[in-house]
Homo-oligomer: A and B are copies of this chain.
Amino acid sequence: MTRAGSPQAIKIADYLFTRIRQLGIKSIFGVPGDYNLRLLDFVEPSGFHWIGNCNELNAAYAADGYARINGLSALITTYGVGELSAINGIAGAFAEKAGVIHIVGTPAREIQNSRARVHHTLADGDYRHFATMASHVTRAQTNILDPMTAPSRIDWVLQQALIYSQPVYIEIPEDMVDVAISASSLSIPISVPEVPLPIDEPVEEVLGRIYSAQRPIILVDGECRSMGILDQVDELVQKTWWPTWTTVFGKGLVNEELPNVYGHYSGRLGSKEWQTYFDTADLVIVLGPHYTDTNTYNFSTVPRDEVSISFSKNAVQIRGETFRDIPDDFLSRLVQTIDKARLNPVQGPSSLSFLNHELSINHEEPLVQKTFYSFVNSIFRENDLILTETGTAAHGGRQFKLPTKSRLFAPATWLSIGYMLPATLGAAVAHCEKNRNGGTRAILFIGDGSLQMSVQEISTIIHQHLNVIIFVINNAGYTIERAIHGRKQIYNDIAPWRHSQALGFFGVNEECSRNSFSARTYGELGIVLHDENIMNGTGVRLIEVFMGREDVEGALLGLMQSQIAKE
Q: Which of B43, B117, B462, B495 contacts A491 (CB 8 A)?
A: B43
Stretch in A200-208, A337-345, A498-506 touching the partner: A498-506
The interface-forming segment of A14-22, A49-57, A434-442 is: A49-57
Q: Which residues of B contact A418 (CB under 8 A)?
A: 55, 85
Q: How large is the interface on A (under 10, 10 to 19, 20 to 34, 35 or more residues)?
A: 35 or more
Q: Does A95 sit at the interface, judged by CB under 8 A?
A: yes
Which residues does chain B contribute within 8 Å of A290, judged by CB atoms? Answer: 123
A257 within 8 A of B: no
Is A292 in contact with chain B by the CB < 8 A criterion?
yes
**B119 close to A414 (CB less than 8 A):** yes
CB distance from A12 to the nearest CB of B (A): 17
| Contact yes or no, A40 B486, CB < 8 A | yes
Q: Which residues of B contact A197 (CB under 8 A)?
A: none
Contact status B416-A85, CB under 8 Å = yes
- Whether B81 contacts A92 by the Cβ 8 Å rule is yes
Task: Identify which of residues 467-493 in chain A touch chain B, using a CB-to-CB cut-off of 8 Å.
Answer: 478, 481, 484-486, 489-493
Q: Hey, which chain B residues are within 8 Å of A137, CB to CB?
A: 84, 122, 129
- Asked if A109 CB lies within 8 Å of chain B CBs, one says no
Q: Which of A271-330 contact B (CB under 8 A)?
A: 290-294
Chain A to chain B: the 3 pairs with minimum beta-carbon distance, closest first: A84-B88, A463-B495, A81-B416
Given the interface pairs A129-B137, A414-B80, A506-B497, the reply to whether A485 lies near B38 with Cβ below 8 Å is yes
Interface pair B459/A456, CB less than 8 Å apart: no
Q: Please name 22 pairs of A and B residues whose Cβ atoms are closer than 8 Å in the assembled complex, sorted by A.
A: A32-B478, A32-B481, A37-B484, A37-B485, A40-B489, A41-B489, A44-B490, A52-B495, A54-B453, A54-B495, A55-B453, A57-B85, A87-B87, A119-B292, A119-B294, A120-B414, A121-B292, A123-B290, A452-B456, A498-B505, A498-B507, A498-B508
Q: A119-B415, A414-B119, A485-B37 are in contact. Are A508 and B497 (CB under 8 A)?
A: yes
* Contact partner, A495, options B84, B416, B460, B478, Cβ 8 Å: B460
The answer to whether the Cβ of A420 comes within 8 Å of any Cβ in the partner chain is no
Q: Tell me the smallest distance from the CB of A458 to a CB of chain B, in Å.
A: 10
Complex Cα spacing A116 to B298, Å: 10
A126 to B118, CA, bound (A): 34
Q: How far is the CB of A200 from chain B (nearest CB, A)?
A: 27
Annotate A489-525 by CB proximity to B: 1 below 8 A, 0 otherwise.
1111111111001101111100000000000000000
Q: Contact: A120 with B415, CB < 8 Å? A: yes
Query: In the bound complex, how far is the Cα of B119 from the Cα of A136, in angstroms?
Result: 17
> How near does chain B come to A190, taking the closest CB pair, in angstroms?
25
Once the chains bind, are A415 and B452 in contact (CB under 8 Å)?
Answer: no
A134 to chain B, nearest CB (A): 9
Q: How far is the CA of A413 from the CA of B462 in the complex (A)?
A: 34
| Residue A360 at the chain B interface, CB threshold 8 Å | no
Other-chain contact of A34, B34, B481, B498 (Cβ < 8 Å): B481
Contacts of A366 in B (CB 8 A): none
